[in-house]
């Protein structure tokens, strides 16, 4: 028994020793790698980027900036490092790097690009409507920075397009919650959600339905005057909408005097 225990101790000792040697070798290799010129480091990073080894390329570009912070390559390497993390779908790392660039270099010509990529990182993490929309809100904020501060940049057009898509997505989230409350016969919370869509997301495709749902809720509560006022808004702004046609039929059946 004692002999067996001694054998096990020797086995674990040699295993520990082997791991320590491997870690030491890796450390030596990294130290040797960092002792290179800015051109060598940048070229190595570009080689990895072109080979599609994005995470390794990101670390190599970061090494350019770390070892040669005052060189002409440093800022480009900082952006390239962030972009490589984006390509590797390491969004947290990419977001952190783009944020650092924006904070440190707010007046740099490429700050519009950094905001755009920051928005893209959040945008690609937007979940389905039923889940938390925090990435959606962060993407919206970044893209709006591009649209408002850099309207003539080459990124502004696509940023504006994505702003519209995000607003439609957020409106859809409000509609989903409102419809849920309506089904639960919780009409007042439902009305508040639909009002939010009409006031906050008035350029989206969800507004006609939101107005129609408000009419349904008001009628269910017996608030005919309020329903009539909303129906007038729906008819004035969306006279050719299917939602207005449905609302007209609903009002005709339930509040016929409102249409006289």
55 within domain boundaries: yes
**Average pLDDT estimate for 92-101:** 96
154 within domain boundaries: no
Q: The domain containing residue 37 runs over which residues?
A: 33-90
What whole-number percentage of the chain has pLDDT above 70? Answer: 82
The answer, yes or no, to whether residue 97 has pLDDT greater than 60, is yes
pLDDT in the model for residue 35: 63
Per-residue CA distances from 68 to 29, 57, 87, 101, 103 (Å) = 20, 16, 24, 16, 20
39-43, 53-57, 94-98, 133-137: least confidently modelled range: 133-137
CA distance 244 to 218: 16
233 within domain boundaries: no
Tokens of residue 229, six digits? 């006022």
Number of domains in the chain: 1
User: Are 45 and 61 contacting, i.e. CB atoms less than 8 angstroms apart?
Assistant: yes
CA distance 173 to 182: 14
80 within domain boundaries: yes
Tokens of residue 112, six digits? 């519009």
The answer, yes or no, to whether residue 102 has pLDDT greater than 60, is yes
Q: Residues 176-225: pLDDT tens digits?
A: 999 999 999 999 999 999 999 999 999 999 999 999 999 999 999 999 99
Q: Give which of 158, 145, 161 is closest to 203, Cα–Cα.
A: 161
Q: Residues 221-258: pLDDT tens digits?
A: 999 999 999 999 999 999 999 999 988 888 877 766 55
**Average pLDDT estimate for 163-180:** 94
Mean of pLDDT over the chain? 85
Q: Which residues of 177-205 are buried (b: 16+ CB within 10 A; e: fewer)?
A: bbbebbeeeebeebbbbbbbbbeebeebe
18 within domain boundaries: no
Q: Which residues does 247 contact at the CB level (< 8 Å), separation at least 6?
A: 211, 212, 215, 231, 234, 235
**Average pLDDT estimate for 18-25:** 42
pLDDT in the model for residue 232: 92
109 within domain boundaries: no
246 within domain boundaries: no
pLDDT in the model for residue 128: 56
DSSP-derived letter for residue 256 is G
| Residue 24: Cβ-neighbour burial (10 angstroms; 0-12, 13-18, 19+) | exposed
The answer, yes or no, to whether residue 174 has pLDDT greater than 70, is yes
The answer, yes or no, to whether residue 26 has pLDDT greater than 70, is no
What whole-number percentage of the chain has pLDDT above 90? Answer: 67
85 within domain boundaries: yes
> Which conformational region is residue 7 in: left (phi greater than 0), alpha (psi within -120 to 50 degrees), or beta?
alpha
What are φ and ψ of residue 106, in 5° steps?
-65, -20
């Amino acid at each position: 028994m004692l002999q067996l225990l001694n054998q096990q101790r020797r086995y674990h000792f040699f295993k520990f020793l082997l791991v320590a040697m491997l870690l030491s070798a890796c450390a030596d290799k990294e130290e040797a790698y960092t002792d290179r010129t800015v051109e060598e480091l940048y070229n190595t990073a570009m080689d990895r980027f072109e080979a599609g080894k994005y995470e390794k390329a990101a670390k190599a570009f970061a090494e350019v900036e770390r070892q040669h912070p005052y060189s002409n390559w440093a800022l480009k390497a900082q952006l390239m490092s962030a972009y490589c993390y984006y390509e590797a779908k390491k969004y947290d790392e990419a977001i952190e790097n783009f944020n650092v660039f924006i904070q440190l270099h707010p007046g740099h010509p490429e700050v519009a690009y950094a905001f755009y990529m920051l928005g893209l990182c959040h945008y690609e993490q937007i979940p389905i409507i039923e889940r938390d929309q925090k990435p959606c809100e962060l993407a919206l904020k970044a893209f709006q920075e591009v649209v408002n501060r850099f309207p003539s940049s080459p990124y502004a057009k696509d940023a504006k397009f994505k702003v519209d898509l995000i607003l439609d997505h957020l409106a859809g989230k409000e509609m989903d919650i409102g419809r849920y409350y309506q089904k639960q016969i919780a009409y007042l919370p439902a009305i508040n959600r639909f009002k939010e869509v009409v006031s906050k997301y008035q350029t989206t495709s969800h507004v006609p339905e939101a107005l129609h749902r408000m009419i349904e809720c008001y009628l269910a509560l017996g608030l005919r005057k309020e329903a009539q006022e909303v129906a007038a808004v729906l008819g004035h702004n969306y006279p050719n909408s299917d939602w207005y046609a449905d609302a007209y039929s609903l009002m005709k059946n339930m509040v016929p005097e409102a249409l006289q």
